[in-house]
């Protein structure tokens, strides 16, 4: 079992990634695994990482789909997960 969590998915941080085309901030559309099928939100995160075709399981990355509201660009943005024991709440 993975003992890490995504700081974006859990609301500890905000995703501040800029569009490479127009430099506006991307809008986070959620994690990629939620878009991989009708039942994907109900599949365990570790299982979806093992079969999604991306190298995100071992480095503990959470892949987010982001889109630009200005120019329409979209991009998958990897977010480094944090160890549950290292998460600090303010």
pLDDT digits (tens, 9 = 90+) for 39-84: 666 666 666 666 666 655 567 888 999 999 999 999 999 999 888 7
In angstroms, the CA 6 to CA 12 distance is 8
Cβ atoms within 10 Å of 66's Cβ, excluding its own: 19
In angstroms, the CA 81 to CA 30 distance is 14
Question: Cβ(31)–Cβ(63) under 8 Å?
Answer: yes
- Please state the pTM of the whole predicted model: 0.73
Q: 3-class DSSP state for residue 76?
A: strand
The conformation of residue 62, written as its DSSP 8-state character, comes to E
Beta-bridged to residue 75, according to DSSP, are 66
């Amino acid at each position: 079992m993975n003992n890490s969590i995504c700081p974006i998915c859990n609301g500890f941080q905000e995703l501040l990634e800029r569009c490479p085309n127009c430099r506006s901030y991307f809008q986070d559309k959620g994690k990629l695994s939620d878009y991989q099928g009708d039942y994907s939100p109900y599949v365990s995160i570790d299982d979806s990482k093992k079969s999604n075709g991306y190298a995100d399981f071992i480095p503990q990355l959470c892949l987010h789909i982001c889109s630009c509201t200005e120019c329409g660009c979209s991009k998958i943005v990897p977010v480094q997960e944090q160890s549950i024991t290292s998460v600090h709440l303010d």
